[in-house]
Amino acid sequence: MPLQYSKVLMKKRIILFASGNGSNAVNICQYFEHVQNIDVTEVYTNNSKARVINKLTFFGIKTNVFDKVAFTDGELLSEIKSKKPSLIVLAGFLWKIGSDWVNEFSNKIINIHPALLPKYGGKGMYGKHVHQAVKENHETETGITIHYVNEAYDEGEVIFQAKVTIENEDSIETIASKVYELEQANFPKVIQNLLNKDYS
């Protein structure tokens, strides 16, 4: 019994990667402020001007800026490995993850995509580019996909999807807003469910 109790108290560690505005990163940090067994420990960004940096100072979470060289030559991978994250969460991170990362953190890197994969995935398909393509193709629904990351853009195993209906009169901004609501409502909960599997 004491062994089981101490296992429950072991904290899971999330490291976030973000490139821009940081709305998903902020939402995740807010959510896990109130979860005892899971912490967001650090945030990494490839963009020194990313708005996510200022947004996260409120939470007292360390933000680290890195460049392409550190990302590709193994330096950053070694640094992250030493921190022993339970999960690496890509929250609006736009660079492709290399095979060295995928091999090191198998089924420990997840991403959120603003469409129902396998539709509208791949290089260059992010943010408004996705919503514009959805609108131009007269789709009747769209949504979000949370998936494991592999060596190819948006092709990892799907963990979770949620859908929303698109009306004919919906603008690209309206579609984006509907998808944003799905992201905010579901991303932190899916992360929590993934990490809590170890405690079941």
Query: Catalytic amino acids?
Result: 113
Q: What is the dihedral of CA 89, 94, 65, 180, to 10 degrees?
A: -60
Q: Show Cβ contacts of residue 117 under 8 Å, excluding neighbours closer than 6 positions.
A: 145, 147, 154, 155, 158, 161
CA 141, CA 22: separation in Å to the nearest integer? 25
Q: Are 76 and 70 in contact (CB under 8 A)?
A: yes
Q: Are 45 and 54 in contact (CB under 8 A)?
A: no
Written as one string, the DSSP assignment of 49-67 is: T-HHHHHTGGGT-EEEE--
